[in-house]
Structure 1
Amino acid sequence: MSGLREAGRVEVGGLAIRAGLWFLALTEVVVGVWALFAPAGFYAGFPAPGHPWVSLLPPYNEHLVRDVGALSLALTVALVGAALRPERRLTVVVLLAFLTATVPHAVFHTLHLHGFPAIDAMAQTIGFALQLGVGAALLVGVSRRRVVHSSE
């Protein structure tokens, strides 16, 4: 038996699952590094110059922005761990943690688009839909993925 099978762990990481986990990790690391290490710049300039989504929801609070950065980096660590070793249980837990943070975040922003230019409201909504769609698709894929063990 393989060491993974003996320990009750089953790898489920096909290329699509690993790529999805890396994509989510990339979205989190960008937010995490920027918000944690340059909170005022993140507040004034996320996601791009001329499109200050965070500052459209004042007031600025350095502590909360840094906390968001630290939590995004924590999710990055978990997502990278799952991408490097996509064992079913680990990947499911990481994706549930990601969705637990992202669903309420997306709902809040979807309900607070007043003051946003139409292009920014649409881009933000599409961004959240993409993150949620990838996270949910990965969770379904990992949960349903049939694992075939050869030479047990």
Structure 2
Amino acid sequence: MNSTPRRILLAATAILGAYVGIWAAFFPGSFYDAFPGFGLAWVSVDGPFNEHLIRDVGGLYLGLTAASIAAILARTAAPGRVVGLGWAVFGAIHYGYHLLHLEGSAIDIVGNVVSLGISLALGVLLALPARPVVVTPVSAAPAALAAPAASVSEATR
């Protein structure tokens, strides 16, 4: 079964993916100059503007967003785990690059490392198997659970 916590994690990836994806795919110049917003600029410090590359990044994020939304709607956990694997692989490579290329102010570096770390962690958490549901068979139930039934039968004698 697809649990509520898994759906919440998937929703977080969908929101993250939509934020980055829509901005990069449809407004690449603005994305280059002003991503992630809030007065910070993380992309322009890394080299010259490349519209093709930025739109491709937007497409990648929108693809992950679509997969996250589909997994939210799934009845089982398996699609969410597969989507999590995709986010984790992408996140590990993306995070690794930025750890090796720390650029910008201290606020930029911390923001970059924390936000990309969260993105990676979401993917890893989603890829983990669901906790198994343990069902105790009635025959293995403790005697205390069976006691009320015995007392009822004794009362009817």
Fold equivalence (TM over 0.5): yes
User: Which consecutive segments of 4 or more residues in structure 1 shift more than 6 A?
Assistant: none
**1:66 correspondence with 2:52:** no
Distance 2:75 2:87 in 1: 15
- The unaligned stretches of length 5 or more in structure 2 are 136-157
Structure showing greater radius of gyration is 2
Map of 1:136 onto structure 2: 124
The TM-score normalised by the length of structure 1 is: 0.82
Give the CA deviation at 1:89: 2.5
Give the CA deviation at 1:38: 0.4
Q: Deviations over 1:78-113 (max 9, x none)?
A: 011111115232222111111121110111111111
Match among 48, 65, 85 for residue 76 of structure 1: 65
Q: Deviations over 1:21-77 (max 9, x none)?
A: 000110011110000000000000000143110001011100000000011100000
Match among 26, 35, 41 for residue 24 of structure 2: 35
Give the CA deviation at 1:137: 1.9
Distance 2:60 2:125 in 1: 23
Q: For this pair of structures, how many residues does the alignment match?
A: 135
Distance 1:106 1:67 in 2: 18
Q: Secondary structure at the match of 1:113?
A: coil
Contact kept in structure 1, 2:88 and 2:121, CA below 8 Å: no
Q: Identity over aligned residues, as a percent?
A: 37
Moved more, 70-79 or 86-95: 86-95
**1:104 correspondence with 2:90:** no
- The unaligned stretches of length 5 or more in structure 1 are 1-10
The TM-score normalised by the length of structure 2 is: 0.80
RMSD (CA atoms): 1.6
Contact kept in structure 2, 1:18 and 1:86, CA below 8 Å: no
Moved more, 86-95 or 43-52: 86-95
Which amino acid in structure 2 is aligned with residue 118 of structure 1? A
Match among 88, 94, 104 for residue 77 of structure 2: 88
